[in-house]
Chains A and B, each alone.
Chain A
Amino acid sequence: LHAMNTVVAQLQRRFQDYLVSLYQQGFLDNQFTELRKLQDEGTPDFVAEVVSLFFDDCSKLINSMSRSLERPENVDFKQVDSGVHQLKGSSSSVGARRVKNVCISFKECCDVQNREGCLRCLQQVDYEYKMLKTKLQDLFNLEQQIVQAGGAIPQVNIN
């Protein structure tokens, strides 16, 4: 029993450290904390489900914006702007801080109809969401290990 408790404690510690590091490195902001508050025993997969929806959104929006930016002589900046706006909104709602920040620059490029700038931002937003996806997958894996070892997911306070 003691050995099991140690395993759980170690896993919890790893989880906590990892989550804190994601905030410290700017991947996540306070809105992710808010999201975690909405999860409970009745809805244990809530956060995972929401971020999954978010990453699906990212993929779809990036694809459609990419199409709009494809031909230099015929860029639909209105469509791109609409995509950025949506992406900014949903990244903001889930606490995906880096993705949201790229969207701010992205919008500026869109406003001045800078295709090159938009393409750079598009590439960056693609990179950032995929990076976050990997990080969160690691986090959820740690969560699962804790649960499987019979432990509880720690409440983590981010300062």
Chain B
Amino acid sequence: MLAGNAPGLQHPNSNSILRGLIITLAYDDVNRTVTKRLLEKLGCEVTAVSSGFECLSALSNVEMPYRVVILDLQMPKMDGFEVAMKIRKFYGYHWPLIIALTASTEDHVRERCLQMGVNGMIQKPVLLHVMDSELRRAL
């Protein structure tokens, strides 16, 4: 499906399936900066936000065709699940795609994610190639 020997890890070309707008939501600076850079390295255009409100505001901007929201579930001052729920409530289950980042390996987190309409899950800390394959799987 995709050309290239190291898919996504080379300079993005016009055929890259990953070209597209992504919102990444994480509470703390470190995680937000790292995730944003990781996604950019894979050829994505990224908007990094630090609140559910900013996330929903960005999605409501019709001029920016966002495709995916990368959502950090472990945020101290806000509930990542709640943000996912709100996204699904306002925009339905087909758009945008939501990929959750979690440090937890517990089953109930996975189940809850599925219930919330999350399309994919990645374990933290995030590895470049894992993000790469998860995005390709989801998109």
Chain A residues within 8 Å of B, Cβ to Cβ: 31, 34-35, 37-38, 40, 43, 46, 49-50, 53-54, 56-57, 82, 85-86, 88-90, 92-95
Q: Which A residues are CB-close (under 8 A) to B29?
A: 53, 56-57
A50 lies within 8 A of B125 (CB): no
> Chain B interface: which size bin?
10 to 19
Residue of A nearest to B74 (CB): A89
Chain B residues within 8 Å of A, Cβ to Cβ: 28-31, 33-34, 37-38, 41, 74, 76, 103, 124-128
Task: Provide the bound-state CA to CA distance between A92 and B124, in Å.
Answer: 8
A50 lies within 8 A of B124 (CB): no
B34 lies within 8 A of A35 (CB): yes
One of B37, B76, B125 near A92 (C-beta < 8 A): B125
Q: Which B residues are CB-close (under 8 A) to A89?
A: 28, 31, 74, 103, 124
A93 lies within 8 A of B124 (CB): yes
Q: Which A residues are CB-close (under 8 A) to B33?
A: 49-50, 53
Residue of B nearest to A79 (CB): B76
A38 lies within 8 A of B28 (CB): no
Q: Which B residues are CB-close (under 8 A) to A35?
A: 34
Task: Provide the bound-state CA to CA distance between A124 and B2, in Å.
Answer: 48
B127 lies within 8 A of A85 (CB): no
Task: Provide the bound-state CA to CA distance between A68 and B17, in Å.
Answer: 48
- With A85-B74, A85-B76 in contact, do A57 and B37 touch (Cβ < 8 Å)? no
B38 lies within 8 A of A53 (CB): no
Closest 4 CB pairs of A and B: A90-B30, A53-B29, A38-B37, A31-B125
Residue of B nearest to A29 (CB): B125
Residue of B nearest to A94 (CB): B30
Task: Provide the bound-state CA to CA distance between A34 and B61, in Å.
Answer: 33
- With A43-B37, A85-B76 in contact, do A57 and B128 touch (Cβ < 8 Å)? no
Nearest Cβ in chain B — how far from A92, in angstroms? 5
Task: Provide the bound-state CA to CA distance between A85 and B128, in Å.
Answer: 23
B34 lies within 8 A of A93 (CB): yes
